[in-house]
Amino acid sequence: LGRRFAERKRCADPECSMLMCRGKARQDFKGPDCRFVNFKKGEAVYVYYKLIGKSVELWAGSVGSDFGYFPKDLLEINHNYSNEELELPTDETDFVCF
């Protein structure tokens, strides 16, 4: 994976600090590096923004106090907090380890 996963992202607010949705993990996930969040099947995952423009769609979210990226296909959405989606450019700081 490259340094920057995507050039653009979708957020619920200009700071990407508001929750977009919540879901349940469809299966266990262990990311390739510290930029990813790990989770177990059935855990609640909270989504803050969605990367767009690349072949594998990654979303950014939290599980407990951990934050990072995960493939969107691993999440079964069960609650939307916002239907508003702003398209914004990504920043270099979006891709550092948390």
Helix (H) or strand (E) holding 89: strand 86-89
Residues 11 and 13: their CA atoms lie apart, in Å, by: 6
Determine what percent of the chain is predicted with pLDDT higher than 70: 94
Residue 77 has pLDDT above 90, yes or no: yes
Counting every residue written for the chain, the total comes to 98
Domains, the chain, ranges and CATH?
8-94 (2.30.30.40)
Residue 98 has pLDDT above 80, yes or no: no
Task: Specify the pLDDT at position 10.
Answer: 95
More confident site: 32 or 98 = 32
Determine what percent of the chain is predicted with pLDDT higher than 90: 76
